[in-house]
Amino acid sequence: MKKVSREFNIRGIKDLEQLKKVTNEFNIDYPVSEDVSILAEPVKLASGKVIPNSMGIHPLEGFDGTEEGAPSEYVFRRYERYARGGAGLIWYESISICEEGRCNPLQMIIKKETVPELKRLVDRSNAAAVEEFGRRPYNVLQLTHSGRRSVDKNWKSTPLAITENPYMDDHTSMDGQKGELQIATDEQIELIIQQFIDGAVLAAEAGFDSVDVKVCHEYILRELLSAFTRPGKFGGSFENRTRALFDIIHGIRKKLGNSIDICVRLNAYDCIPYPYGWGMVKEEGVMKPDLEEPIKLCRMLVEEGVDLINLSTMMPRYSPYGTGLLAEHNDEDIRPFTGVYNLLKATRDIKAAVPGGVFMCTGLTWLDRFGANVGAGGKKEGWWDIAGFGRQGFAYPDFARDILEKGKLDRNKVCITCDKCYDLIQIGHTRTGCVARDHEVYLPMYRQYVQNK
Residues 6+ apart with CB under 8 A from 274: 228, 280, 281, 282, 283, 284, 285, 286
Residues 6+ apart with CB under 8 A from 183: 161, 162, 163, 164
Which whole number is the average pLDDT over 145-156?
A: 96
Work out the burial of residue 192: count CB atoms within 10 Å of its CB; fewer than 13 is exposed, 13-18 middle, 19 or more buried.
buried
- CA 96 – CA 49 distance, rounded (Å): 26
Report whether pLDDT(1) > 60.
no
Residues 6+ apart with CB under 8 A from 17: none
Read off the pLDDT of residues 234-250 as tens digits, 9 standing for 90 and up.
999 999 999 999 999 99
Q: Under a CB-based contact definition with an 8 Å cutoff, are residues 203 and 197 in contact? A: no
In order of start, what are the domains of the chain with their CATH numbers? 33-415 (3.20.20.70)
Read off the pLDDT of residues 17-74 as tens digits, 9 standing for 90 and up.
999 999 999 999 999 999 999 999 999 999 999 999 999 999 999 999 999 999 999 9
User: Buried b vs exposed e over 124-158: b needs ≥16 C-beta within 10 Å?
Assistant: ebbebbeeebeebbbbbbbbbbbbbbbbeeeeebb
Which whole number is the average pLDDT over 6-13?
A: 95
HSE-up (13 A, CA, CB side) for residue 363: 28
Backbone angles phi, psi at 176, to 5 degrees: 90, 5
| pLDDT at residue 282, rounded to an integer | 97
Backbone angles phi, psi at 63, to 5 degrees: 50, 40
For 241-289, the DSSP string reads HTHHHHHHHHHHHHHHTTSSEEEEEEES--SS-TTS-TTB-SSTT---B
Alpha carbon 365 to chain centroid, angstroms: 13
Lowest mean pLDDT among 3-7, 264-268, 396-400, 420-424: 3-7
- CA 373 – CA 195 distance, rounded (Å): 40
pTM, two decimals, is 0.97
Task: Return the bridge partners of 389, or none.
Answer: 57
Task: Return the bridge partners of 43, or none.
Answer: 51
Q: Under a CB-based contact definition with an 8 Å cutoff, are residues 107 and 95 in contact? A: yes
Report whether pLDDT(329) > 70.
yes
- CA 271 – CA 325 distance, rounded (Å): 5
Please state whether the peptide bond connecting residue 275 to the residue before it is cis, i.e. omega within 30 degrees of 0: yes
| pLDDT at residue 331, rounded to an integer | 72
Q: Under a CB-based contact definition with an 8 Å cutoff, are residues 399 and 69 in contact? A: no
Read off the pLDDT of residues 191-244 as tens digits, 9 standing for 90 and up.
999 999 999 999 999 999 999 999 999 999 999 999 999 999 999 999 999 999
